[in-house]
Amino acid sequence: MSDTLLVSRFIDAGSALFASVHGALFENLVQPLLFALGLMHLAEPAFDAVEWFLIGLLEVVLLVAVLGSLERRWPAEPLVDRSAMRTDSLYTLLHRLGAVPLLAFALFTPLIDAIETQLRLMGLSRPNLDQLWPGVTDIGWVSFLIYLVILDLFDYAMHRGQHAWRWWWALHAVHHSQRQMTFWSDNRNHLLDDLIRDAVLAGAALAIGVAPAQFVALIVASRVLQSLQHANLRWRWGGLAERMLVSPSFHRRHHAIGYGHEGPAKGCNFAVLFPVWDLIFRTADWRPGFVPTGIADQLDGQDYGRGFWSQQRLGLQRLLRALPGGRNGSSGASSRASRMASKP
C-alpha cells in the first residue's frame, strides 16, 4: 500500500470520526437544550457553532502539544511572567472556542445575499474567483491559496490602520502590551478590536465568493500560522523563506519596543502571513527580532492592565479619550521611543 493511500485513508478516518463526534454532541446536548429553550430556529447556526468549537478545541490541543514543546526546546527568552501567559491563554480559549469569526460570517451573509440580489436585478454579479481561470482556479488548493493571499492583503491593510489611527490603536495596544510573548499571545486582543477585524474579513470573504466551508479552513490555517509567529521561539526561516512566510523573528520585531509601534510609519513588519506586503509597501525590517517586546511608555509606568477585565476596561477608556472630543490620552509612544528605535 502506497504512502499516499495510507495518508488518504487516515484523513478519511479522521474526518469520519470528527463528523461522528460533531453529530453526537449536537444531537445529544445542543439540540435538546435549544428545544427546551424554544430556540430551535437557531438550530442551523448552532450546528455550525458546534463544528467550530470542536475545530478550535483540536487547535488548542495541538498548539499546546507542538508549540508548547518547541518553546521549551528553543525559547527566544526565559519565561518569567506565567500569570500574563495564563491571561493570554484565556483570550485564546475565548477566541478559538467562541466562534467569533463564524458569527461575523453568519451575520454578514444575509447582507451580502441582499446586495447580490440587487446586483442580479441590475444584470451584475459579485466576483467569484473560483471561476477566474476555469480549469485552474477552480482546483481546490489553488483557489484556497488565492483567497488566502487576498484576505492577507486585507489583513495587512487593517493592521496598518490599527497602528495609524489613534482610536484603533487604543484598542490594538492590548495586543502589543504583552511583554512576554508566547504562542498564546496571538489572541490577546481587545474584544471590540477582534469584532471589527473579523467583521471586515468576513465581509471581504463573502464579497469575493468564499464559501462557508472554505472560510473555516482559511481562518484555521491563518490563525495556526499566527500562533507560530507569536511563539517564544528563537527561529528565523532565513534566505528566501524569510521573505515568503512571516517567521517568529520577523513578527517579534513588529512587537519590539521602539519598533512595533513607535518606529517609522508607526511600526514595521505588519504582514500577517506573507512578508511580500511589507516589501511592496516598504515597511519590512529584516533584522533579527530577538529583542524586548511591549510598548515604549510601559517603561515609564503606563498601565495597560494585568488581567483580562482590566485590559478590556483600560482599552475602552483609551478609546473614549482618542475619539473626537475626548480627552487626549496616551498614543502608545513615550519619551524613550526615539532612543529605543535608534538601537539595533
| Residues of the chain falling short of pLDDT 70 | 1-4, 7, 98-109, 111-113, 115-116, 119, 124-128, 130-139, 327-344
Among left, alpha and beta (phi > 0; psi -120 to 50; other), residue 236 is: beta
Q: Which residues pair with 89 in a beta bridge?
A: none
The predicted structure's pLDDT at residue 333? 45
459579485: which residue's cell? 126
The predicted structure's pLDDT at residue 125? 66
The predicted structure's pLDDT at residue 160? 94
Task: Let me know: does 160 contact 270? Beta carbons within 8 Å.
Answer: yes
The predicted structure's pLDDT at residue 328? 60
Could you read off the pLDDT of 34-82 as tens digits, one per residue? Answer: 888 888 887 877 787 788 888 889 999 999 999 999 999 999 999 888 8
Q: What's the half-sphere exposure (Cβ side, CA atoms, 13 Å) at 243?
A: 9
The predicted structure's pLDDT at residue 202? 83
- Ranges of each domain in the chain: 83-341
Alpha-carbon span 51 to 68, nearest angstrom: 25
The predicted structure's pLDDT at residue 334? 43
Is the dihedral angle over the CA atoms 274, 331, 292, 82 positive or is it negative? negative
Task: Let me know: does 188 contact 171? Beta carbons within 8 Å.
Answer: no
The predicted structure's pLDDT at residue 341? 47
